Amino acid sequence: MVNKNTKIIILAGGKGRRFNPFSFVIPKPLMPINQNPILMYLINSFKKNNFKNFLISTGYQAELIKAYLGTGKKLGIKVKYFKENKPLGTAGPINKIKNKIKINDYFFLINGDVYTEMNYKKMMTFTKKGNYDMVVGFIKKKYKNSFGVLDIKDNKIKNITEKPNSLFNISSGIYVIKNTSNLNLIPKNKFFTMPNLIEKYLSKGLNIGAYNIKDYWMGIENIDNLKKVGTRLNKKSI
């Protein structure tokens, strides 16, 4: 069952330096994938799952993001904005926003440069069922090793594998977090990342879950990835 009041915090304050010179005039979340900006695809993916309450953390060129989305009424959503006067990292903005979320309620936190076709309802159900303090969405990703890998024992080579693939679990930049006093671990008005917060949670023995996102996901940190998503969407529309 979806809680219609569930809040989604979107981190949209980055400068997107890898998109220069385009990001001199357009903030990264508004970079277009075909006809619509990254941010719009992200919001629509939540709308499909019946999540419509957005808290957007802005910074660089905040006025353009606010002008594009407005109050969200025309889009059938609710939008509120919180501006970072200085970069606060991926966890720092939570301190400015958490008072807009009821105690013990779960909320989503997501990077503003993510494209995914995942089912957010399933991730929320997974979180509640496990009674987690936080859940990190992760992707299984293969990387091609550029070198031969040696299996060595007692200073002797037992085997060599030429440029093997290595499988890693990487963070998707998508989280579900429970609004409790644990969030007081985030320092006020200081740069603080989600890896920093996860380390704090682990040191206190808090319950952190890992949710495997098996649907399509792409972190759009550069123009090449932007084009890959655009190509995928073109193929889907045929």
CATH of the domain at 96: 3.90.550.10
Domain count, the chain: 1
Q: What is the pLDDT along the chain (238 residues), one digit of tens a residue?
A: 567 789 999 999 777 666 666 566 677 888 888 888 999 999 999 999 999 999 999 987 888 999 999 999 999 999 999 988 888 999 999 998 999 999 999 999 999 999 999 999 999 999 999 999 999 999 998 877 777 887 888 877 888 888 778 788 999 999 999 999 999 999 998 999 999 999 999 999 999 999 999 999 998 888 788 888 889 988 877 5
**Residue 30 within any structural domain of the chain:** yes
**Residue 156 within any structural domain of the chain:** no
Q: Are 19 and 28 in contact (CB under 8 A)?
A: yes
**Residue 2 within any structural domain of the chain:** no
Q: What's the pLDDT score for residue 44?
A: 94
**Residue 154 within any structural domain of the chain:** no
**Residue 145 within any structural domain of the chain:** no
Closest of 58, 45, 61 to residue 9, by C-alpha: 58
158's CB contacts (< 8 A; 6+ apart) are 151, 152
**Residue 162 within any structural domain of the chain:** no
Return d(Cα 30, Cα 25) in angstroms, integer. Answer: 10
Q: Which domain holds residue 180?
A: 7-138+171-237
The pLDDT tens digits of the residues spanning 32-63 come to 888 889 999 999 999 999 999 999 999 878 88
